[in-house]
Chain A
Amino acid sequence: MDDLLADFVAETREMLEASEGELIAWEADPSDQSRLDAIFRFVHTVKGNCGFFDFPRLEQLSHAAEDVLAEVRAGRRVPDAELVSAVLAVIDRIGDMANAIEAGQEFPKGGDEALIAALQENAVAELSAMDSDPDVQDELTATKPDTAPSIQRSIRLPVDLLDRVMSGVSDMVLARNDLAHRLRQAGTQPTIDGPFERLSTILTDVREAITRMRMQRIEHLFGAFPRLVRDLSGELGKQVMIDLEGGDVELDREMIEMIRDPLTHIIRNAIDHGIEKPADRLKLGKREIGLLSIAARQAGNRISIVITDDGRGLDEGKIAAAAVANGLLTKAECEALDREEILQLVFEPGLSTAKEVSAISGRGVGLDIVRDNLEKVGGSIKVTSTFGEGSLFYLQIPLTLSIIAGLTVEIGGQRFAISQSYVEEILDMAGSDREFADIGETAMVTFRGERVPCLQLGKILDLTAELPVREQILVMLRLANGDIFALAVDRIHNHGDLVVKPLAPAIMATELYGGTTLLEDGNPVLLLDTPQMALNAGLVSDTRSQYALGAEKLSQESEDDKQHAMLFTDLDGRRKAMRLELIQRIETINSDVIEIADGRVRAVVDSEILPLIGLSEQSDPTGKVRVLRLSDGSSELLYAVGRIEDAVELQSDLVQVEDEPLIEAIALVDGHSVSVVDGHAIFGKFGSVPKPTRTLVCRLPDSNWAQTVLAPLVKSAGYEVTRPTGGTADVIITLDASEQGSGNADGGPPGSNQKIIQLRSQPDAELPEESRAGSIYRYDRDALLAALRRFGKGEAA
C-alpha cells in the first residue's frame, strides 16, 4: 500500500480514536462548543484528505457531516439527539471505510445516501427507517470482520506496561554490572568473556530502545500552544506571534505531562501581563505584534526550555513593593537585594503585581505552584527581565525521572550519592586558605564572596567523619531557588548515570534519602535528598531566612572588590590572569586554521573569522593551540594560551602598571605576581566591530560648523558624509528649521526612506518644553549619537 495512503488511514484512525471521547461527551451535552469544534476539525480534515486521495464516498460523507456541523456551530441549527446520532453514524462509517481502505478491500456499496439524508433536518423518519432496515444493518455488521486491519503499523500500549519493561531492563543492566564484577574477580575466561561482551552490547541497545519508547518529542506539547496563544490573544485584544523551536527534543512522556501546566501558565502570564496591546506597543516603538518564543534544548541529561516575550517586562520596583506589602520581606531586606534576586521573588507564594484580576491568569497563585511542580521533578526555573523590553523564563528539567546523573561521595567510610544537577562546584578544603567560621552551631564558609552555610554530612547522618572539617571536601549545592549551601564530605568518588529506585516508606520517613541505586560492585548506595536536607536544616524554611542570607553579602567584599579571573600561562611562559566575565569559552584549535596576514593574526572558529592574539612573536604555532574565546558583548577575539590553571579570586589591591599597554594591573595570587590582561585595551586594539551591511550616507547642512565640527562626529558613528547638495542620502541632518527648507530645495524633497535629524542652535534650557520636541540641540552629543545609531540600526536590520 502506498505510504501516503497508510499515513492517511493511520491519521484518520488516530483522530477517530481521539475524537471518540469527544463524540460521547458531545452526545451527553450537545451544546458543548469545544467538543463540537473537535469533531468538526475531524470531519474537516477527513474531507480535505479525501479530496486529495480521491475517495468520493468518504468525501461525500464527511462533507455532509461538516455542513451540518457548520450549521450548528453558526447557531443556525440546534443540535438534538437525532442529529448527534446521525453524525455518529457517519463517523462510524468513515472509520469502517478507512479500515476497508487499509485492508485493500472494496467497501460494500450503498447506505451512504441514507446516512447523509439522516443528517438533514426533520430526518427522523429516515434514520429510524435505516435503523430498522435489515439490509443496511447487515451490510454494516457484515463488513466488520472482513475489515480487520491486515497491516498494523503502530500499536498503543499502556504506559505502565512500558514502565515495567523499562524497570526490567534497568534490572538487567544492574544484573549485568554485577556479573561483570564477578567475572573480573574470576579472571580472564575467554569462553565466557566473549558471549558476555555480546550480551552487554545487546543489552545496551535494548536499553536505549526502551528508553526511547518512553520518549516523546516535545512537539506533542508544543502542538497545543499556537492555538492557546491565538485564542488568548484574541480574547485580550492583543496580537501575538508564537515561535517554537526545538520541537524535536525528546523527553520522557511522564516529564512532558509534568511540564505541561507550568509552561501553559507561563504562556498565559506572558500574554496577559507581558505583551502590551497593539496600540501601546506602537507608541513604545515596538512592532505591533508581540513575539513569544519558546525554545527547547537538550544539554546532556537535562532539557532547558526558554520562554521569552518582548512585552513590558518585570518591574522590580513593583515586585519589591508587593513583597514588602505582603510581608514576605522587610523594606531593609528588599533594599539589600540586587535586581536579579528581586525578580526571583515572583516565584514566592502570595505575590502578585497584577493590578487587576483577570480571567486569564488569576492573582497571586501560579508562579509559586509552577516552581513547586518543577522542583518536584528535579527541575528549576529562573527569570530575567529588562523592564520595558521583555522577560525570559528559563526552565531546566531532567530528561527522565528514573535515571539521573549522580556523584558518589564518602563520609565515615560509607558512600552516598548526590544528584549531579544540584552540584555547583566542588572545593577541596585541604591546603586552601578559604575562610571558615563556626557561628554558633552553624558553620559558614566563604564562597564567591558570600558566606554560605556549611552542613556536615557526618553530623547529619550521625557518622564519624574520617577527616577534620578543614581537610574535608565541600560539595557546593545549589538549591532550586538559587541559594547555595555546602555539604562537607570526606571524599568524592566517581560520577555516572544512576538508576534510581524508590525506597521503602520506613526509610523515606527519615527525610534524608531520595532513593537508592546499585553501584557497579553491586552494593546498594543511598541517594541523598539534598533539598530536603537543606529544608530540615532550616536553610530554606521561609523566604525571610533565604534572602537574609543573600543580604549577608559582606559589604567590604562587594562586587567591585571580589573579582574572578582565569589564571593561565601564556605562550611566552608568563603567568597571566583574564577576567572571567570576558571569557566565553576555552577552545582548542588546530594551528592550520590560523592565518597571519598584514601582521594581523586570525583564526577560524565555528566558521567565524576571529582575531587571534597572544601568540608568541618568535614561535610559529604548530599542532593544537589552546585559546580563550573572549567577548565584550558585541565582538569576539581569541587569546592563545599555553596552560590554563584555575579560576581565582583577585584580591582588591591590584597594582596598576604603566609601561605595558595590554596589562591592566598586577595581582598577587598565592604569593606570586600575575599580570591581569586589560580587557578594555585588547578589545580596543584588536576587537573588530561588527560592520553594518552597508555604510549609510548622511547629508550635513551647508555650513562651516557642519563640515568641521559635526562631520567627524557623524563619521565616528559609522556614517559616510556627503556633499550638502545633490546625491542621495539615507539620513539628513538639518540645522535650525529655516535651513531645512533650503536643504530640501537643493537636494529635492526627502524620499520616504530618508530620515531627518533636526538640530537647533538654542540649548534646551532656553526653549519652552513644547518647542524642544523633534529637534536636538546641536551640542547634545549623546542625543545626536543616539539618533544616528537608531537610524543606523534600522537600516542594518
Chain B
Amino acid sequence: MNDLLLVAQVAGRRCAFCAISIRSVIEIGEITPIPGTPAMVLGLAALRSQTLTVIDCRLAIGEAAAELPTDARAAVVEVDGHPYALVVDSIEDIAETASEVDTVLGGFGERWARVARGMVETTSGPVLLLDINKMVDSPIQSHRAA
C-alpha cells in the first residue's frame, strides 16, 4: 500500500497529511480576521468564489506560532462541507508511504497525540501523519471548554 502524502513542517516537525484529502495547495492572499474566534482561526480567505476558513495548524495543536516561519502557501481541505485552508511552517513535497501507520513507544506527547493518526515511514524518512478532522475540530472543543 503506497498512499501519497503531503509532507509539511508543522511547528518544526516533519508531518504529513493524506494527499487524497487535500484539494489543492494555494497561495493565501488577504485574510479577513474574525473577531471573537479562537486564535487558531486566522480568519477568512477568498479562493475564487469560495470562502476558506484559515486555520493555523501550529496553534490548533497548541504550539506557539510566533517564532516559527510561516509558508505563504496553505493546504485546502474540506471537512463536513466546509472548506478550510491549513497554514503550516512550510509545505515540502509529496511523498509515498513506505509503511503502515504505527504508534511509537512513549507516544507523541499529549498535544500531538490529539491530532496524530500515527507515524509513517516514507521514501524521505519518518513523518507524523496528522488527522485533518481533528485539526479543524480542535478549535471548537477548546473554545467550548474555555
Contacts and interface: CB of A to CB of B under 8 A. Distances in A.
B48 interface: yes
Interface residues of B, number: 27
B136 to A, nearest CB: 7
Nearest to A174: B49
A670 B30 CA distance: 46
A175 B49 contact: yes
A172 interface: yes
Contacts of A505: 80, 82, 140
Interface in B51-97: 51, 53, 55, 80-82, 84
Interface in A433-466: 460-463
Interface in A171-193: 171-175, 178
Contact of A510 (B33, B34, B50, B136): B34
Given A462-B35, A510-B34, A516 B51 contact: yes
A522 B46 contact: yes
Given A502-B82, A503-B53, A516 B35 contact: no
A509 B143 contact: yes
B38 interface: yes
A504 B53 contact: yes
Contacts of B143: 506, 509-510
Contact of B32 (A170, A174, A178, A524): A524
B46 A524 contact: yes
Given A506-B139, A507-B53, A461 B48 contact: no
Given A506-B139, A506-B143, A523 B38 contact: no
Nearest to B80: A505
Contact of B45 (A178, A461, A509, A524): A524
A553 interface: no
B82 A523 contact: no
Given A171-B50, A174-B49, A414 B41 contact: no
Interface residues of A, number: 30
A123 interface: no
Interface string B21-40: 00000000010111111100
A518 B51 contact: yes
A512 B51 contact: no
B119 interface: no
Contact of A518 (B30, B46, B82): B46
A461 B36 contact: yes
A506 B50 contact: no
A513 B44 CA distance: 13
A524 B53 CA distance: 10
A171 B50 CA distance: 7
Interface string B102-146: 000000000000000000000000000000000010011001100
Nearest to A515: B51
B7 to A, nearest CB: 25
Interface string A618-645: 0000000000000000000000000000
A465 to B, nearest CB: 12
A283 B48 CA distance: 69
A170 B139 CA distance: 29
Contacts of A506: 37-38, 41, 53, 55, 136, 139-140, 143
A507 B35 contact: no
Given A502-B82, A506-B139, A506-B140, A175 B33 contact: no
Contacts of B48: 171, 174-175, 178
A501 interface: yes
A526 interface: yes
Contacts of A509: 37, 139-140, 143-144
A526 B35 CA distance: 10
Contacts of A522: 46
Contacts of B53: 503-504, 506-507
Nearest to B32: A524
Given A506-B136, A506-B139, A463 B50 contact: no
Contacts of A524: 32, 44-46, 51
A522 B37 CA distance: 22
Nearest to A463: B35
Nearest to B53: A504
Contact of A523 (B30, B84, B140, B144): B30
B57 to A, nearest CB: 13
B118 to A, nearest CB: 25
Given A463-B35, A509-B144, A523-B32, A501 B41 contact: no
A173 B32 CA distance: 21
Contacts of B46: 178, 518, 522-524
A505 B84 CA distance: 11
A259 interface: no
A462 B34 CA distance: 10
A204 to B, nearest CB: 15
- 3 closest pairs, A vs B, by CB? A174-B49, A461-B35, A524-B44
29 contacts: A171-B48, A171-B50, A173-B49, A174-B48, A175-B49, A178-B48, A461-B35, A461-B36, A501-B51, A504-B41, A504-B136, A505-B80, A506-B37, A506-B38, A506-B53, A507-B34, A507-B41, A509-B140, A509-B143, A510-B34, A510-B36, A516-B44, A516-B51, A523-B30, A523-B32, A524-B32, A524-B44, A524-B46, A524-B51
